[in-house]
Amino acid sequence: MPLQRRLPKRGFVSLTASRNVEVRLSELERLPVTEIDLLVLKQAGVVAADALSAKVIVSGKLSKKLLLSGVGATKGARAVIEALGGSVADIAPAK
């Protein structure tokens, strides 16, 4: 029997999937600062200390102007933030 059929099939499990975090707009609303990056989210306890990246999703209300840098955002979240006069700085792709 060929080797590829004798070996057990285990699939793929990403080791970094649990370190990529989603952040809701309602969680950003509760923060006392307007300039938000990954370090601010870690210090506020919104994301875990070992988080590698964060992405803002549309969930909840936002009523203040925010400046995001180093944090991703979905199209809907980006539209909400920019409608209030805020901005989202693009993340540089990892090499």
pLDDT tens profile 48-63: 999 999 999 999 999 9
Indicate whether 70 belongs to any domain: yes
- Domain assignment of residue 8, yes or no: no
**CATH (domain of 73):** 3.100.10.10
- Count of structural domains, the chain: 1
SS3 24: strand
Is position 95 within any domain? no
Does residue 48 fall inside a structural domain? yes
Does any domain span residue 30? yes
Q: Which domain holds residue 65?
A: 19-88
Residue 16 banded pLDDT, cuts 50, 70, 90: confident
Strand order, beta sheet including 35-36: 35-36, 67-68, 87-88
Task: Collect all residues with Cβ–Cβ distance below 8 Å to 71 and sequence separation of at least 6.
Answer: 23, 36, 37, 38, 41, 53, 54, 55, 56, 88, 91
Q: Report which DSSP code applies to 47.
A: S
Within a domain: 55: yes
pTM for the model? 0.77
